[in-house]
Structure 1
């Protein structure tokens, strides 16, 4: 039987959400490298000790942020058995690019830079596991339906997809917003699925 949360538990969850939301807001507004723990605490009206009750460092903000992104993305990746595999793949790519694009160029640049600076590429919580699970499912459907052949393993295809996606985000981050992320991403990521076609 699950234990009912106490008022103290609920207050702790509320405080954690408040600190997390404020940290994310400040990172969005000013960039990860320009936000300090002191600024987060001041904006929330909490002591530094309270911050350290929920985070061990500023790096944990990125982990929380990515975890939240993945939860929100999971609602956007819709698997419809009636659609062909290429359409499912293209819909997932477009949903991802739209989601990232809504945060804007400045935030994406700050986020990509923070991931590199904090060396989070290999962190388990920062992985693209959600995308990998969805793409694996799409590739398996394409193989089952006869649309694809196993030109490479699912793991190898995802490794190529992941490297290309990170490249697209990095390239867009380094640009002066001369090109829309969705246009750039579709132009580069859509053709990848052709590697699996017969």
Structure 2
């Protein structure tokens, strides 16, 4: 196992341990010490990968949301209501984590390496969304006048814009409510008339 594979394996052990502990005893009751013990790593190792316990939860939320988006393409339509429900659920899960989300945005843009990693993640999201829009076009749910890839890119841009807007406190609405409204408007524009 090379160095990068070992780092990824360690990070995944921390995430797996945290997910188990959060499910068993709740987020608030779980400590970093418990996570590191369950993962079999030193406390310092935890902080090489994550700034805080909240950072771990944010990463887990993203993983779960991505898994659900990836699986969405394997389900029958209609896709718009499922996508909206999924994105609302994700936004609601971030309630009370405005500062954590702002730190996450700052981290994404902190240096060239982080920017490149973020771009890779965003490209992966678009790649997962394109088949959903294509299937929606094939079933007549979405317009065919806009390419599926364009819809996927716009959907990502909406998410990023709402995320920045909410993290900066530019709206009093909850993150989930802002996402809900934004995607309702988006889908109104791409639905087949």
TM-score by length of 2: 0.61
1:73 aligns with one of 65, 68, 91:
65
Root mean square deviation, CA, Å: 4.2
Match runs of 1:165-176 below 5 Å: 165-175=159-169
Change (3 A) 1:143 1:74: same
Separation of aligned partners in 1, 2:67 and 2:96: 17
In the alignment of these two chains, the number of paired residues is 161
1:107 aligns with one of 81, 86, 100:
100
Q: Residue in 1 aligned with 2:109?
A: 116
Separation of aligned partners in 2, 1:71 and 1:97: 14
Contact 1:70-1:130 within 8 A present in 2 as well: no
Separation of aligned partners in 2, 1:70 and 1:179: 21
Match runs of 1:181-192 below 5 Å: 181-192=175-186
1:153 aligns with one of 143, 147, 153:
147
Separation of aligned partners in 1, 2:182 and 2:97: 19
After superposition, give the CA deviation of every residue in 1:99-136 in whole Å (9 maximum; x if it has no partner). 3x146112112111221223534326851356434432
Deviates more, 1:160-169 or 1:133-142: 133-142
Greater C-alpha radius of gyration: 1
TM-score by length of 1: 0.59
Change (3 A) 1:134 1:191: farther
